[in-house]
Amino acid sequence: MGSLKEERKTIGWAATDPSGVLSPYTFTLRNTGAEDVFIKVICCGVCHTDLHQIKNDLGMSNYPMVPGHEVVGEVMEVGPEVTKFKVGDCVGVGCLVGCCATCRPCKAEVEQYCNKKIWSYNDVYTDGKPTQGGFANSMVVHQKFVVKIPEGMSPEQVAPLLCAGVTVYSPLNHFGLKGSGLKGGILGLGGVGHMGVLIAKAMGHHVTVISSSDKKKEEAMDVLGADDYLVSSDVDRMQELADSFDYIIDTVPAHHPLEPSLSLLKLDGKLIILGVINVPLQFVSPLLMLGRKMITGTFIGSMKETQEMLEFCKEKGVRSTIEVVKMDYVNTAMERLAKNDVRYRFVVDVAGSKLEDE
């Protein structure tokens, strides 16, 4: 355990400017503390947020930046006060690596709503050093922000669950929408939307994919197992299905009208917005008032929910649709992701990419 206080160097792929091009980058991991876990990264999912961050789309990127927040790895070493994990465990790390631990959200175990949360990358840790993500050989993470991967789940399959999976599971859990027999809609069929179909189906829901065209109908029904497919411009079907949904999960990350979705909700139905949109959205208030409907949004999920969601997916056999790539393909993967040319999540085989040979 003598090495616990020594800084380690590791290799990742980093963006160095808003072009977003990733290239090999050697950096120092922060000192591992008493409750820290040293993790060798096996693989890491590629999220739309990674694309926004490396290109500074949100105007707050700091470089060099190693992205990646759907990380699965193996525990190589633990601090003396670590109780949850041991060397050799297969573990996951999601979007967060720190929080204040004293505010109301933290005390309620919903640390994703902490105003002082620390992101897995493009943030500053408590020691003043930048955080770097999972497109790297290794990470050091406090045990609170590490989850155990249930035995028998493959690392590549688990990776998308750590962000996209829990992002869908959390609102269904929080709003009491886990019971079987509910009727749900999934608007948008990207990385989060595809997980929405899989998880809602595993909960026993009747699931309709709602889209602006019918080009994903076959995929939604035959590959993902949706029960129905609704094209939002089909006036007759929209009227037929009005006032019939318990909830709609809206994953569309661009400006779009809310009224069509609101009209589909039944009394007390919920429109749950998960897409990050930085322009105002509009609706007319009677659509809410006349059905006591709710527009809400949730943000990723807590560590507790993440662990619960993994156990649920293991039990129900939920398998995401992924494309595994090596690190030297990651820039092409980012270009394809920008065009939505992926079904449905890229996962980088970090361990198999032999970064030390770069």
Mean pLDDT of 241-251: 98
Bridge partners of residue 203, in order along the sequence: none
Answer whether residue 120 shows pLDDT above 70: yes
Question: Per residue in 332-355, pLDDT tens?
Answer: 999 999 998 988 899 999 999 988
Could you tell me the CA-to-CA distances from 329 to 297, 332, 336 in Å, in that order?
34, 5, 11
Could you tell me the CA-to-CA distances from 137 to 45, 109, 253 in Å, in that order?
14, 30, 31
Question: Per residue in 264-316, pLDDT tens?
Answer: 999 999 999 999 888 999 999 999 999 999 999 999 999 999 999 999 999 99
Mean pLDDT of 193-216: 96
Q: Cα(146)–Cα(93) distance, rounded to whole angstroms? A: 5
- Residue 105 sits at φ, ψ, to 5 deg, of -60, -40
Mean pLDDT of 48-69: 95
Answer whether residue 87 shows pLDDT above 50: yes
Answer whether residue 1 shows pLDDT above 50: no
Six token digits for residue 282: 């509009």
**Owner of token pair 């525990």:** 75
Answer whether residue 61 shows pLDDT above 80: yes
Q: Cα(309)–Cα(300) distance, rounded to whole angstroms? A: 12
User: Measured at the alpha carbon of residue 55, what is the angle toward residues 51 and 61, in degrees to the nearest 5?
Assistant: 105
Answer whether residue 167 shows pLDDT above 60: yes
What pLDDT was estimated at residue 72? 98
Answer whether residue 125 shows pLDDT above 80: yes
SS3 category, 69: coil
Q: Can you say how many angstroms the Cα of residue 248 is from the centroid of all Cα atoms in its chain?
A: 18
SS3 category, 96: strand
Going by pLDDT thresholds of 50, 70 and 90, the confidence category of residue 2 is very low
pTM, full prediction: 0.94
What pLDDT was estimated at residue 250? 98
Could you tell me the CA-to-CA distances from 123 to 136, 167, 329 in Å, in that order?
16, 21, 25
Going by pLDDT thresholds of 50, 70 and 90, the confidence category of residue 191 is confident
